[in-house]
Amino acid sequence: MIQFRNLTLARGARRLIIDASMQIHPGWRVGVVGANGSGKSSLFSLLRDGLHTDAGDVSIPAHWTIASVAQETPALATAAVDYVLDGDAELRQIERALLQAETDHDGHMIGELHGRLSEIDGYSAPSRAATLLHGLGFSDADFTRPVSDFSGGWRMRLNLAQALMCRSDLLLLDEPTNHLDLDAVVWLEKWLSSYRGTMLLVSHDRDFLDGTVTHIAHLYDQRLTLYTGNYSSFEDQRASQLAVQQAMFEKQQREVAHLTKYIDRFRAQATKARQAQSRIKALARMEKMSAAHVDAPFDFMFPEPARAPDPLLALDNVCLGYDDTLIIDTLKLDLRPGARIGLLGPNGAGKSTLIKHLAGELAPLTGVRTEGKGLIVGYFAQHQLEQLRPDESPLQHLQRMEPRVRMQDHRDYLGSFDFRGAMADAPIAPLSGGEKSRLALALLVRCRPNLLLLDEPTNHLDLEMRHALTKALAEYEGSMVLVSHDRTLLRMTCNDFILVADGQAQPFDGDLDDYLVWLTERNAAQNTARNTALKDARSASTAMPATPVPEKKMAQWQSEKAALELQLADPALYEKAQAAALQSTTQQQAALMQKLEQAEARWLEIHEQLEVND
């Protein structure tokens, strides 16, 4: 097990954790939560890299293999699938040793290595790597593409796949969903929920935490406290602890009363029964969530938006894409005041493309986009963080937007986003991604938009800020279109959904849970189609006199070959009395070698055929 004994950890002169004692038992999956800067990443560095402690110590079993996601990825020429396979270090070591043993004609070593390869399930490693890549959104055609071909976000997915490929005893994951979309998040959640080792997970996605962890380690006020249960259970326990403090309890009750009033108003206006009930349940859940976050440093609201035209925005037979590549075909959409729409759909289907067009950043290939008079768009996307001025402070950014507003009003407003004191006056260059996202949201909110367009607004935001944003969006009086992999945010803020898939963007008749069912069925159908294509490719291969050999049969032949090589390594076999046995063994070896060569050639031809079909 992992054991912390009176641990004190600091970063420079600032103490992050003081006198922490805790045990994490094998098989526990622990969510590590706390505000940005509370020490979560430093705790991971301590476990992964042996970061120096200021007092006390931490012990991890010496024989444990630790896996974590690399933060950098060189522009390698290595194929994506081979890069993922590199995550299993022992597999690669055995493969190298086998090549050397075969060069040296060392039959005994070859036999031992094949035996170990079988023990670690090495023959199925390519299949497992393919499963990881498919789950994280890669296509079959991506498998052979060099790592250098992929963008930064997709390289992070490759790094995640490589970490999952490792047969680890301890898995350290620091915000693994940041570069994923919803379908990949759902797949990863299922994969991690069945992980058999010990896991420490930093995530700011409460649904993801609920589906993956068995315990919560909470970093707060320099203390590390362990709770049993998932994140929702932690919220309930923490809310109970805070409620005994009278001031906190009173604030909680005011928050609950405010949200209850909003729920009642929504119930009176709801027109779709299923959507309404889903939203009401989500907002009711927010009551409990709010109780656990009453001491959060963030507390803001969207100001009442400017008067909105009707429609806000109209798309008439719009086709969207890039150059000659069509992404969304013949879209008709009228955005009316009060619309609260979530965009759903598989990776790469065109959600971000659609929201860019709504924001006016992408012209249509064909069709007409008409803005209502008085439309004010507030658009948030990750690339807009680059438009912040690194040499200016948060206060200067706000003053440039509103030069006539009193400085104290600006300071009060920035304080609601936890930019207080010296932090409001310092240049933003050293800020973390989460802090810059917070500032960008603060500036966006200040514009009083009547149409909010949000593309993954929660990336890099901690749980406290996500809660504040969710609450503010739930109460926002304007219209909104949202792309997010955060299911809590989608459930609590969206009344309707548009499904972007297969070149179309159509209203989705259902709620988020219905979409997750649709997604599961779609993935199952794609897996069936992939297997059917493989069978068809085998049948169509007229150059092969026999049916392609299943992977298990190839593994069996490899084992038989290893056993024969072990026999051939025995000097006694070469005595005169064993001449007949020697001849028989060498003939069997030659026959097996021929079978394996033919089988490997067949597999190569099959994969080439599949690539052609794709």
| Helix, strand, coil percentages, rounded to 5, for the chain | 50, 20, 30
Nearest alpha-carbon partner for 445 in 461, 467, 469: 469
Beta-carbon-side half-sphere exposure of residue 236 (alpha carbons within 13 Å)? 8
C-alpha separations of 417 from 295, 436, 507 in Å: 13, 11, 35
How many helices (H) and strands (E) the chain has is answered by: 21, 18
Crossing angle, helix 551-568 and helix 579-613, to 10 degrees? 150
How many angstroms separate the CA atoms of 478 and 322, rounded? 30
pLDDT at 167: 94
In eight-state DSSP terms, residue 43 is H
Q: Is 264 in contact with 237 (CB distance < 8 Å)?
A: no
Q: What angle do CA 385, 174, 19 make, to 5 degrees?
A: 115
Confidence (pLDDT) at 99: 87
Q: What is the pLDDT of residue 14?
A: 80
Nearest to 456 by CA among 478, 489, 494: 489
User: How confident is the model at residue 49, as a pLDDT?
Assistant: 80
User: Hey, what are 589's tokens?
Assistant: 């070896």
> What DSSP character marks residue 204?
S
Which secondary structure element, helix H or strand E, spans residue 377, and what is its range? Answer: strand 377-380
Cross-sheet strand order for the sheet of 215-220: 66-68, 170-174, 198-202, 29-34, 215-220, 223-228
Angle at which helix 246-269 crosses helix 231-243, to 10 degrees, equals 130
Give me the pLDDT at residue 594, please: 65
Instruction: Determine phi and psi for 473, rounding to 5 degrees.
Output: -70, -35
Residue 590, number of CB atoms within 10 A of its CB = 11
Q: Enter the pTM of the model.
A: 0.74
Residue 508 to residue 498: CA distance in whole angstroms: 5
Largest CA distance in the chain: 105
pLDDT confidence of residue 263: 64
Spatial separation of the C-alpha atoms in residues 139 and 116, rounded to whole Å:
31
Q: How far apart are CA 133 and CA 159, in angstroms?
A: 11
Q: What backbone phi and psi angles, to 5 degrees, belong to 160? A: -65, -45
pLDDT at 69: 93
Which residue type occupies 159? N
Query: Cα separation of 297 and 418, whole Å?
Result: 6
Structure tokens that stand for 549 in this block:
């050999």
The three-state (H, E, C) secondary structure of 54-79, written as one string: CEEEEECCCCCCEEECCCCCCCCCCE
- For residue 146, give the DSSP letter: B
pLDDT at 63: 92
User: Does an H or E element contain 131, and which?
Assistant: helix 125-135
Q: How far is CA 366 from the centre of its chain?
A: 34
**Residue ranges in the chain whose pLDDT is less than 70:** 51, 244-249, 252, 255-256, 258-296, 533-555, 559, 562, 564-580, 582-584, 586-587, 589-591, 593-594, 596-614
